[in-house]
DNA sequence: GTCGGCTATCTTGTCAACAATATTTTCCAC
DNA sequence: GTGGAAAATATTGTTGACAAGATAGCCGAC
């Protein structure tokens, strides 16, 4: 388990954090990371001394996480880790498709020589990882590529929404990358996206990004039909 | 001030509410309605006895509102009503454009005879309002139409995101509808959307919706250039 | 007259105890 | 043995007081 402590996607753009807010980050990470199983009850008192933070902090953290869709809270019955169904995962991917499409367009329209080189560099890293059969690394680079494009878009609203959607997808991070042939196709699609963005073609960039994420959604759907009983290990990587 | 207590957009899909959550709704409404001016400080103690709710409830409400982008909270300095710039409003409209485009497509793809009649009915109401020079009423119907389509899409993820985006747009509700010629054009565009949705043409529906909201964004941008000092009365209606 | 530090005040963040509510268990009637 | 009511338990929601941090005003030095 030599994974990066913080993916560059997580904390980017979230400086200036308040004290209890730090607790929120840790709790969130625990859920995203998978330390807290889906449907597990989150008793405030337990969290409080498990994470060594005041109960009030746990409370506010849970409120935020609820709003973010990571936990479910019922009036007098407490909070539990929310399990997102694969139907919902498909919805999330569809939403990501249009939002990242928007971001890709914006990124293309404000591309510079320097930033074009940056995205291309990320793509090169992905190609290298894939050649080296490093699937986990490739998955990381995937995330980095998407994050880079969103960042270059300068579209803070889209960025905020996409980040929120991403955190709900953790359970499905591995599904798609493990499908035979999928990594290669993903590289293909990414390549098209990067070229469109780097060349400043907004229309093409948006189409390429939408096509890519739509394909991911389809791959997820079909993979679900086969591996109904999911017994995949839960670790912390991003889906592409 | 004979406005509906709750627009059908606000609370739809949010049943089963906890006690303090009710307080959240009231506080939120106060901000959206404009009772709390932008940049106004929201001292927890004051809110507490102004709204007759425990301070803890105010606290959680503020946390949620922050996450929703309606208030800003700095570590030890309290919360204040967030002022969204018109640049940000344009971003929000762009995000809405793609998300509602997705919703429109989904709605078209699962349209039925009954639901087609429903959307058409809303459009008829808008036409009537416009003929009667009822701009405020037309604005309401506008919101109802968008809400209806999102509802018919059955896309809960898109619905959630769109609702969140909408709440941040309150300050700009009136800007566009007051531009000469804009209501008529809006009706035109809505008509195209409704026809595409009702006829089950997903592609066309998405394009029409995106075109419409993109135009709203453009209208907002140009209106800003003219009326730089905004002195419009702040009431609670929705932009189209 | 202005700059720097210091105190005074305001507000949020923390805490511990208590009240309210949902869930589980137990016990009795049938 | 099963059904149902009632107590026991567990957990959230509330309250008030206190601590910590931030801002603003004041005072003195230069």
Question: B207 — contact with chain A (CB < 8 Å)?
Answer: no
The more confidently predicted of residues B193 and A39 is B193
In this prediction, residue A172 has a pLDDT band, given cuts at 50, 70 and 90, of confident
Task: Look at residue B56 and give its three-state secondary structure.
Answer: helix
Contact B95 A161 (CB under 8 A): yes
pLDDT in the model for residue B12: 36
DSSP string, A59-90: HHHHHHHHHHTSEEEETTTEEEEPPPPHHHHH
Can you tell me the distance from the alpha carbon of A117 to that of A138, in angstroms, rounded to the nearest whole number?
Answer: 19
At B169, list the tokens. 């747009």
Can you tell me the distance from the alpha carbon of A156 to that of A162, in angstroms, rounded to the nearest whole number?
Answer: 10
What average pLDDT does range A208-230 have in this prediction? 81
Question: B72 — contact with chain A (CB < 8 Å)?
Answer: no
Q: If residue B80 lies in a helix (H) or strand (E), which one and from where to where?
A: strand B78-81
* Cα R_g (chain B), whole angstroms: 18
Question: A85 — contact with chain B (CB < 8 Å)?
Answer: no
pLDDT in the model for residue A35: 86
Contact A75 B16 (CB under 8 A): yes
Contacts of B157 in chain A (CB under 8 A): 88, 91-92, 94-95, 165
CB of B45 under 7 A from strand C? yes
Report pLDDT digits (tens) over A94-129: 999 999 999 999 999 999 999 999 999 999 999 999
Report pLDDT digits (tens) over A65-80: 998 899 999 888 889 9
For an interface test with B, give the residue of A15, A157, A159, A203 to mutate (most B CBs within 10 A): A157
Angle at CA of residue A102, ends A99 and A104, nearest 5°: 110
> CA(A77)–C1'(D11) in Å?
7
Task: Look at residue B74 and give its three-state secondary structure.
Answer: strand
At B44, list the tokens. 């927890």
Question: A207 — contact with chain B (CB < 8 Å)?
Answer: no
Question: A144 — contact with chain B (CB < 8 Å)?
Answer: no
pLDDT in the model for residue A23: 82
pLDDT in the model for residue A139: 85
pLDDT in the model for residue B175: 77
Closest-CA distance, B177 to chain A, in angstroms, reads 24
CB of A50 under 7 A from strand D? no
Give how far the C-alpha of residue A187 lies from the chain's centroid of Cα atoms, to the nearest Å. 17
pLDDT in the model for residue A178: 79
CB of B17 under 7 A from strand D? no
pTM: 0.84
> Which CA distances in Å does A169 have to A85, A92, A93, B101?
10, 8, 9, 22
Contacts of A54 in chain B (CB under 8 A): none
Interhelix angle for A135-153 vs A182-198, to 10°?
20
Residue A196 has pLDDT above 90, yes or no: yes
Q: Split chain B (240 residues) into runs of 10 and give each run's mean pLDDT.
A: 37 46 85 85 90 90 91 90 90 97 98 97 94 86 95 97 90 79 91 98 98 93 64 47
In this prediction, residue A3 has a pLDDT band, given cuts at 50, 70 and 90, of very low
What average pLDDT does range A182-192 have in this prediction? 93
> CA(B76)–C1'(C7) in Å?
20
């Amino acid at each position: 388990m030599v994974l990066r402590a913080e993916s560059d996607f997580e904390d980017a753009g979230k400086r200036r954090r308040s004290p209890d807010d730090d607790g929120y980050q840790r709790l969130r990470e625990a859920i995203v990371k998978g330390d807290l199983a889906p449907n597990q009850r989150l008793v405030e008192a337990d969290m409080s001394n498990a994470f060594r933070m005041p109960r009030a902090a746990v409370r506010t953290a849970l409120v935020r996480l609820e709003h973010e869709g990571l936990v479910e809270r019922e009036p007098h019955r407490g909070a539990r880790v929310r399990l997102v169904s694969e139907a919902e995962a498909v919805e999330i991917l569809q939403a990501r498709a249009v939002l990242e499409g928007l971001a890709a367009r914006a990124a293309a329209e404000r591309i510079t020589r320097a930033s074009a080189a940056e995205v291309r560099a990320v793509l090169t890293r992905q190609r290298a990882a894939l050649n080296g059969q490093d699937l986990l690394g490739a998955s990381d680079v995937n995330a980095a590529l998407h994050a880079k494009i969103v960042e270059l878009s300068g579209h803070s609203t889209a960025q905020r929404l996409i980040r929120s959607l991403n955190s709900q997808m953790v359970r499905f991070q591995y599904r798609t990358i493990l499908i035979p042939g999928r990594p290669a196709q993903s590289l293909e699609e990414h390549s098209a996206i990067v070229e469109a963005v780097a060349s400043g073609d907004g229309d093409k960039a948006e189409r390429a990004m939408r096509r890519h994420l739509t394909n991911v959604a389809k791959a997820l759907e079909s993979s679900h039909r086969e591996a109904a009983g999911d017994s995949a290990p839960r670790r912390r990587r991003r889906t592409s």
